Copies of this chain bind each other. A is one copy, B any other.
Amino acid sequence: MPDRGTTPVFHHRIRVTWADCDPALIAFTGRIPYWALEAIEAWWKAHVGLDWYELNVDRGIGTPFVRMELDFRAPITPRDDLVCTVCLVHAGRTSVRHAVKGYQAQILCFEGTFVSAFVDGKSLTSREPPPDIARVFSYLENGKNGAAGEN
């Protein structure tokens, strides 16, 4: 079944610095997945109320990534902040998929999708999220654009 839409867009602003750039005078490719992950972690804190540290250390739950794909559309430099948008694309029983886009000065620099799985923090084996977290994802999943009132 195709995804019917996405959840509201979350914005996360990143400073691009000298340390991020390579001799081609642009941000090194390897930094970009880091930033996308940072944006997804900020999404977690904003929507679920827990960052990955709290989720793992305080609640014993891990969310390791099982897949990422990124298209790099335009070079990133320190001349502007990198504004990342994050949407929850799909929340399954034991995994979630986010879409992340990164913009500088309104120009799309990269876009990607990221799938992570819920696991037990110790054993790293698959599990469902606990009720309070499942409820947040269920709420977001049901409130997707264009899907309001369907349920």
Contact = CB atoms under 8 A, between A and B. Distances in A.
Interface residues of A, number: 41
Contacts of A57: 23, 25
B23 A19 contact: no
Interface of A: 15, 17-19, 21-26, 28-30, 33-34, 37-38, 41-42, 51-54, 56-57, 62, 64-72, 75, 77-79, 121, 124
A41 to B, nearest CB: 6
A79 B56 CA distance: 13
6 closest Cβ pairs, A-B complex: A69-B69, A18-B52, A53-B78, A30-B34, A29-B65, A33-B33
B38 A19 contact: yes
